[in-house]
Amino acid sequence: MAAEVKGPSDIAKPTGLANFLGPPKLLGRDDKLATLVIKVDEGSPHLKIIDQGVCLKCIEKPCTVTCPVENYKVEDNGHTTIYWSNCIECGTCRIICPFHNISWRYPSGGFGMTYRYG
Ligand code: SF4
Ligand code: SF4
C-alpha cells in the first residue's frame, strides 16, 4: 500500500542534478520564437492568397486569429494580407482556411525557419 502524503513537507525533495538545475522553466511564446531563425527568400513568397474576392466573403476570417505569429491582417479595404516573411511554417492557416484559399508551400531549399540552437 502506498504511503499517505499529508502535506508539502512529506513530498520528497529533488537531489543531485535535479536539485542543482532547479524546476524546469516553461517558455512563453516570445521566448520560443526567440529560438528560431528565419532566412527570408525575398523574391519568392511561399504563401499567397489565391482570391481576395473569397476573403471578402469569408465572415469569420479564422486565419487572422489562429496564426501563432499573427501573419494575417485585414486591411482597410477588406483585403487580407499575409506577412509571409515571418512564417514559422506551422501549417495552421493551410488547414484552417474554410475555402482552401491559401496557396501554401514550404520555402525553397536553404530558406525558411531553422532553430537557433542545435
Ligand atoms: S480564412 Fe481563408 S478565405 Fe478567410 S480571410 Fe483567411 S485566407 Fe481568406
Ligand atoms: S504556416 Fe503557420 S506561421 Fe505560417 S502563416 Fe500559416 S499559420 Fe502563420
Q: What is the pLDDT of residues 41-59, one digit of tens each?
A: 998 999 999 999 999 999 9
Q: Which of 40, 88, 94, 103 to mutate to test the pocket of ligand 2 (most atoms within 8 A of CB)?
A: 88
Ligand 2 atom at minimal distance to the Cα of residue 104? 1
Whether residue 3 has pLDDT greater than 90:
no
Give me the pLDDT at residue 17, please.
78
Residue 37 and residue 111 in contact, taking contact as beta carbons nearer than 8 Å: no
Q: How far is CA 84 from CA 34, 35, 50, in A?
A: 18, 19, 14
Of all protein residues, whose CA lies closest to atom 3 belonging to ligand 1?
A: 55
Give the pLDDT of residue 25.
Answer: 79
Burial of 39 (C-beta count, 10 Å sphere; 0-12/13-18/19+) = exposed
67 in contact with ligand 2, CB cutoff 6 A = yes
Q: How confident is residue 6, by pLDDT bands cut at 50, 70 and 90?
A: low
Q: Please, which residues bridge with residue 113 across strands?
A: 38
Q: What's the predicted TM-score (pTM) here?
A: 0.78
Nearest atom in ligand 1 to 64's CA: 6
SS3 of residue 14 by DSSP: coil
Three-class SS state of 57? helix
